[in-house]
């Protein structure tokens, strides 16, 4: 069975979720484009969007409809070529409307798991809960005659574990998109020892057709992305714990968030990122990873405490940010959670943090400036050179953080999670949008 035929019947589990909806969108576009090819015009392509909530599925179709329009507008030159033979459709608007209709027509929504029984490929994007994933895989595999291939979007669970527990005989691969899948270029591809070579080959073609940048991670819990992020987050939490005696909790969170964003030239501060990903999701990922690293404690009591107080971060279905370490209004941080009051304080009340941290070093560039420059190594290196020579708390903390972040990156190579240092840097740059990789010599 070739690539195109494999894609004639796919099911996406958790299709209405944050990751599932993006995977659905990209896959729907891919099969529609395949359908246009002469050799495929008689084939029927079915993409099942399976989720537990009918309401969420309605919202999903609306989301996909809006997003396909954007995609179609961007590739209008290619679309006109694809519609060359269709003399009825002349204007860009006619072609775009028709294309949107075709993509949507390939999507079937369903709340019933039975829908997946006929699929050749199962794309799993449900909660990061190993037991749930295993249960779904087992159920489908027991009822399907197709010996389907399983693509899991897990960001932490070892593929070999899922393979073994669900008894899949190597018909599974880790295909980890980054959030949001429609925009983020990175896919972490994870082969277990038993993953069938034809699945790997297919996955590579599929990633290439989706114009994704692939980094191969080894099959060790957390892989490269979360392997770095979770440890990096734990380091930030540790730093807060050290600072809070002197500055109090809220101010310490603000300080660490600020140095990780401004001083380290990242798109978000570390606590903002935890909020974005979700405190609950971070706890879950850490709990999946923790048993695999006996010498390490990948766990945070602070996150547990917040979770128990129902402070969980993540996004509402309309994309707005839920409360976490920070409260947000229109994407901007307005309040910070504080201990021991267990209440949010106004962000202005934690000022003036600048007086504590000192001025930003000379030649500082913002993250936005840094990513706009194609060859940004020199300006970044100049900035860090100045940072090294700056005598301020901000500089001191950020140097400490940079070193820790680098050590985490190197550890991923030592632990054989990543094959090379470049892979670690590539994941952080393309999956987390960092302006530079953590393994660098900027601090000499």
Partner 1 sequence: MKKKIYLTAGYNTISMGTGRKEFNPKNSRPGIEHYIKEAGQSTIKMINGAENVDEIVISNFAASQYNNQGNLPGYAPFIDDKLRYKPSTRVEGACGSGGLALATAIKFLLSGESEVVLALGFEVQNTMKAVYGADVLATAGWWAHRKDGHAHFFPGQFSDRAGAYYEKYGKDITRKAMVKWYQNAIENARLDNTAQEFHNSDTDLEKTASIEPNKKSFVENLTVFDCSKVSDAASAIALMTEDGLKRCNISKSDAIEVVSFAQAEDDITTKPEDATKLLTTQKAVQNAFLKAGITKDEIGTVEAHDCFSIAGIMAIEALGFAEFGKGPEFVISGKTTRDGEVPFNTTGGLVGWGHPVGATGIHQAVTIWQQLTGKAKSSQIKINQNKPYGMTINMGGDDKTVTCIIFKKSE
Sheet holding 326-329: strands in order across?
Answer: 326-329, 332-338, 343-346
Q: How far is the CB of 414 from partner 1 (least distance, A)?
A: 42
Place of tokens 């901000």: 394
List phi, psi (to 5°) of 332: -100, 145
Q: How far is the CB of 36 from partner 1 (least distance, A)?
A: 17
Q: How many CB atoms lie within 10 A of CB 382?
A: 16
C-alpha–C-alpha distance, residues 229 and 227, integer Å: 6
C-alpha–C-alpha distance, residues 214 and 205, integer Å: 11
Q: How far is the CB of 73 from partner 1 (least distance, A)?
A: 5
Q: Select 93 or 329, whichever has its Cβ closest to partner 1.
A: 93
Q: In the 8-state DSSP scheme, what is residue 321?
A: B
Comparing C-alpha atoms, which of 56, 54, 57, 153 is closest to residue 104?
Answer: 57
Q: Select 97 or 262, whichever has its Cβ closest to partner 1.
A: 97
Q: Select 86 or 200, whichever has its Cβ closest to partner 1.
A: 86
C-alpha–C-alpha distance, residues 353 and 93, integer Å: 52
C-alpha–C-alpha distance, residues 254 and 331, integer Å: 16
Q: How far is the CB of 321 from partner 1 (least distance, A)?
A: 20
Q: How far is the CB of 80 from partner 1 (least distance, A)?
A: 5
Consecutive H or E run containing 207? helix 197-209
3-state helix, strand, coil in the chain (%, to 5): 55, 15, 35
Comparing C-alpha atoms, which of 358, 400, 402 is closest to residue 380?
Answer: 402
Q: Select 80 or 363, whichever has its Cβ closest to partner 1.
A: 80
Q: How far is the CB of 94 from partner 1 (least distance, A)?
A: 8
Q: How far is the CB of 174 from partner 1 (least distance, A)?
A: 32
Q: Select 39 or 88, whichever has its Cβ closest to partner 1.
A: 88
Comparing C-alpha atoms, which of 311, 307, 303, 273 is closest to residue 286?
Answer: 303
C-alpha–C-alpha distance, residues 131 and 150, integer Å: 15
Q: Select 145 or 211, whichever has its Cβ closest to partner 1.
A: 211
Q: Select 79 or 237, whichever has its Cβ closest to partner 1.
A: 79
- Report the residue count for the chain: 444
Q: How far is the CB of 33 from partner 1 (least distance, A)?
A: 16
Q: How far is the CB of 87 from partner 1 (least distance, A)?
A: 6
Place of tokens 């952080």: 428
- DSSP output for 59-92: HHHHHHHHHHHHHHHHTHHHHHHHTTT-TT--SH
Two structure tokens written together for 311: 């402070």
Q: Select 76 or 132, whichever has its Cβ closest to partner 1.
A: 76
Q: How many CB atoms lie within 10 A of CB 351?
A: 12
Q: How many CB atoms lie within 10 A of CB 341?
A: 11
Consecutive H or E run containing 217? strand 213-217
Q: How far is the CB of 391 from partner 1 (least distance, A)?
A: 35
Q: In the 8-state DSSP scheme, what is residue 333?
A: E
- DSSP output for 362-399: TT---HHHHHHSSS-HHHHHHHHHHHHT--SHHHHHHH
Q: Select 93 or 167, whichever has its Cβ closest to partner 1.
A: 93
Binding residues for partner 1, rule: CB under 8 A, are: 73, 76-77, 79-80, 87, 90-93, 96
Q: Select 43 or 80, whichever has its Cβ closest to partner 1.
A: 80
β partners of residue 418 = 217
């Amino acid at each position: 069975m070739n690539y195109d035929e494999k894609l004639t019947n796919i099911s996406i589990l958790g299709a209405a979720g944050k990751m599932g909806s993006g995977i659905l969108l990209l896959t729907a576009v891919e099969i529609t484009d395949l359908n246009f090819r002469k050799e495929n015009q008689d084939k029927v392509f079915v993409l099942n969007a399976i989720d537990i909530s009918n309401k969420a599925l309605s919202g999903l179709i609306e989301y996909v409809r809006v997003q396909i329009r954007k995609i179609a507008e961007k590739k209008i030159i290619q679309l006109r070529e694809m519609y060359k033979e269709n003399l009825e459709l002349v204007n860009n608007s006619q072609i775009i409307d028709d294309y949107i209709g075709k993509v949507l027509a390939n999507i079937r929504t369903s709340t019933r798991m039975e829908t997946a029984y006929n699929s050749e490929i199962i794309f799993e994007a449900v909660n990061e809960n190993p037991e749930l994933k295993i249960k779904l895989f087992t159920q489908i595999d027991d009822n399907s005659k197709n010996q389907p291939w399983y693509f899991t979007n897990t960001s932490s669970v070892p593929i070999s574990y899922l393979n073994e527990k669900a008894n899949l005989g190597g018909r599974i691969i880790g295909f980890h998109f980054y959030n949001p899948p429609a925009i983020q270029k990175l896919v972490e591809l994870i082969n277990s020892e038993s993953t069938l070579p034809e699945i790997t080959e297919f996955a590579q073609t599929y990633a290439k057709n989706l114009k994704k940048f692939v980094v191969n991670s080894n099959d060790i819990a957390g892989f490269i992305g979360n392997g770095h992020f979770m440890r990096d987050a734990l380091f930030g939490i540790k730093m807060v714990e050290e600072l809070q005696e002197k500055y109090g909790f809220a101010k310490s969170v603000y300080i660490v968030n600020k140095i990780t964003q401004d001083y380290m030239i990242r798109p978000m501060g570390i606590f903002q990122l935890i909020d974005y990903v979700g405190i609950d999701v971070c706890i879950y990922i850490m709990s999946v990873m923790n048993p695999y690293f006996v010498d390490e404690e990948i766990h945070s009591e602070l996150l547990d405490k917040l979770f128990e107080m129902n402070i969980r971060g993540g996004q509402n279905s309309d994309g707005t940010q839920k409360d976490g370490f920070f409260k947000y209004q229109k994407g901007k941080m307005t309040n910070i959670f504080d201990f021991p009051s267990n209440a949010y304080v106004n962000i202005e009340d934690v000022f003036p943090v600048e007086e504590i941290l000192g001025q930003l070093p000379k030649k500082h560039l913002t993250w936005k400036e840094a990513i706009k420059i194609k060859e940004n190594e020199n300006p970044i290196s100049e900035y860090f050179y100045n940072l090294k020579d700056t005598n301020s708390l901000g500089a001191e903390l950020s140097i400490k953080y940079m070193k820790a972040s680098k050590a985490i990156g190197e550890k991923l190579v030592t632990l054989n999670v990543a094959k090379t240092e470049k892979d670690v840097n590539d994941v952080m740059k393309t999956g987390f949008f960092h302006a530079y990789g953590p393994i660098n010599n900027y601090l000499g």
